[in-house]
Amino acid sequence: MSYNFLNKVVVVTGGLSGIGLSTTIKLLRQGAKVVVGDLAHEQEIDFVVSKINESAPDSNVHHNLRFLRTNIHSWQDNVNLVDFALDEYKGIDYVVANAAMIRRNGEGASDEPTLDEFNEVVNVNLGGTFAFNKLCINYWKEFKKSGNIVNVGSVFGHKVTDPNLVDLNCSKSGIHTLTKSMALGCASLGIRVNEVCPGFIKTPMLETVLGSDQYDHIVNGIPMQKIGDGDDVANAICFLLSDDARYITGASVVVDGGYSCS
């Protein structure tokens, strides 16, 4: 499915890897101007730009892609990202709040999180998403503009499979409720807020929690018998951003190959 996002300004947090990168590429291919906020360093951008050029050779990436190094845990970084998008493209039409973190295996993470580890994950995943939602909604309200947000939650905010990931589970469950709260408060203003809930998707983040020996076990638990990829989620995000979804707000679109049904 192709949508017309010509000259629409889309801010994507965490837009240089995994689901975020797939979304960035798909938006560029469909004419959008994309502002990425990500913790990547400037030297990583050339690699990403070359990858985007390979995947989307007609996207005019040098004119339609901007990058600002952003830690969504920081309120000021979120403010700076909004201001940067407005300075570069004079507006914001859509937002994809995708940036998130997970405790990494082998880097001192215990089986169960400490309070500090729990707070860090929740503050980044839920707090950062709240902050960026709030700032963009405030901009649209102030200038009486319509707007559109897609938050990236997780099927693990609905279905708990690993109690040791209580920090991730709680943060993503919070995004589910945040999305509905924001949607309810903004519906009469022409601002839509929805959520995609990925299941097991081939991303660098998934690799931090799954060893190669676990893949067969995971696949056996997915009714469609395969792990998804970033494009599967990006397709759902683009649908929710598009005019085809103009009467949809406060919704959660699950992209998990039927995993949550099993």
Domain ranges of the chain: 9-261
Distance CA 232, CA 18 (A): 11
pLDDT at 178 (0 to 100): 98
pLDDT at 106 (0 to 100): 40
- In which region does residue 137 sit, left (phi positive, over 0), alpha (psi from -120 to 50) or beta (all else)? alpha
The answer to whether 257 and 199 are in contact (CB under 8 A) is: yes
Q: Hey, what are 25's tokens?
A: 């590429």
Distance CA 93, CA 147 (A): 6
In sequence order, what are the residues at sequence separation of 6 or more whose Cβ sits closer than 8 angstroms to the Cβ of residue 248?
192, 194, 240
The answer to whether 15 and 38 are in contact (CB under 8 A) is: yes
Q: Rounded to whole angstroms, what are the CA distances from 130 to 49, 96, 122, 157, 250?
A: 29, 12, 11, 16, 15
Q: Which residue has the tokens 């996207």?
A: 59
Cβ-based burial of 50 (10 A; exposed 0-12, middle 13-18, buried ≥19) = exposed
- Within the chain, which residues score under 50 in pLDDT? 105-109
pLDDT at 57 (0 to 100): 72
Helix (H, G, I), strand (E, B) or coil at 139: helix
pLDDT at 93 (0 to 100): 99
pLDDT at 109 (0 to 100): 46
Q: Which helix (H) or strand (E) holds 151?
A: strand 147-152
Write out the CATH class of domain 9-261.
alpha beta
Half-sphere exposure of 96 (CA within 13 A, CB side): 38
Distance CA 150, CA 130 (A): 12
